[in-house]
Amino acid sequence: MEIFKILLALMTSVAVVYFLIKKYDTKLVLLVAGVFMALVALEPMTAFNAFANRMATNGLIQAICSVLGFAAVVKITGCDKHMINMLAGVLKRTGIFLVPVATLLTFTINIAVPSASGCAAAIGAIFIPLLIHSGVSPVMAAAAVFSGTYGSILSPGLSHNIFVAKLANIPVLEVINAHKMATISSIVVAAITLGIVAIYLKEHKGYVSTDEDFKVDTEFKVNPIFALVNIVPLVILILGFTGAVPALKMGVAQAMLIGAFIAVIITRTSPSEVSKKFFDGMGGAYANILGIIITATVFVSGLKALGLIDIFIDIIISNPSLAGIGATLGPFFLSIMTGSGDAASFTFNEIITFHANTFGMSIENMGSLIVLSGAIGRTMSPLAGAAIICAGFAKVSTIDVVKRTSFGMVLALITVYIILAI
């Protein structure tokens, strides 16, 4: 009977990957799979209790919802567009380093605009035409932007950082502090590698486009103050966390709300419109991000009910050297196959990160390794939303885009593993 349960858990996991690849709703797939396994194990309340308990996790709700609320505010006030256009001015002056600098700038902007797809849409609309106008081939222009769409890993508002902080029972900035060297090193490696690939393929200069869609808007007037509004919450959190300004020590939600107020005051946007967008953003955060966290918990509860999690943990405890490799390759390959780093990272963090100390790793290091591996895997998946958006702007195939990002991302993954797991 036990063997039957394990085989069923494995078959269900394979089915989950299949349906995710087929682009079925992530939350629906995880929820149905988790409930199904709990029912087969004759423990249906395990899944329903997991759902109820996770949906009311206070720290996650406050931080994640407020971040997406602030993201909606900077969008409606136009502050995000001012920041992107300001950095586009820097991009124009980088010469032969155009491709890697575009990746690094995208990565930097993604810290303040934490959604990969949202960042790709906002930045791609400006950076991709600018790169093509500067002589970079369209497919390389798309790859340059796509490669930088995991900068949100350094954001205190990223749901994964908040989730790991909750598991470790430490402030979210301590989680970022634990992986910042690995994250920064990985993107530098990826950006430099992509630059070398561009030179090798002769796609870094010389391209001439007659497509009207690749025209560059030279009329936009950047307001530096509007641009800096995007980083107000980040600055508040860092100054408070480091003790540089003790009065600014506060939670993520408080910093985001202050940032929203400042955005309204500086841009003089209608407060009623901003309020509506802020709360719409909060609602969207619960529906889309927290929804995945909740349903990933239900899925893991189903695996636990069938006994697969206990076997998995026992194997790793017996072979601690496998922990780092499993935490790296598992979410990495699942993200490539599904195009989503979220489902992979949340699921693996639910399964093994709580046991990190048993494997000789800290919770924040193992959790960060899983999150980074998932993000890097997603950044070489042709199914990723950000890949589709970037390829759409450049009018190229997502397969061609990831052919160019893959080598750098593999090297980035190795870099992350060396720094966090060895």
pLDDT tens for the chain, 422 residues long, are 678 888 999 999 999 989 988 889 989 999 999 999 999 999 999 999 999 998 887 777 888 899 889 989 999 999 988 998 898 888 888 878 999 999 999 999 999 877 788 889 889 988 999 999 889 999 999 999 999 999 999 999 899 999 999 999 999 999 999 999 999 999 999 999 999 999 999 999 989 887 777 777 777 899 999 999 999 999 999 899 888 899 999 988 999 999 999 999 999 999 999 999 999 999 998 988 889 889 988 998 999 899 888 888 778 777 877 888 989 999 999 899 888 888 889 989 988 898 888 888 999 999 999 999 999 999 999 989 899 999 999 999 999 999 999 999 999 999 999 999 98
> What pLDDT score was predicted for residue 293?
87
> What pLDDT score was predicted for residue 82?
92
Q: What is the pTM of this model?
A: 0.87
> What pLDDT score was predicted for residue 119?
84
> What pLDDT score was predicted for residue 97?
92
> What pLDDT score was predicted for residue 229?
94
> What pLDDT score was predicted for residue 57?
75
> What pLDDT score was predicted for residue 1?
65
Distance of CA 415 to the CA centre of its chain: 18
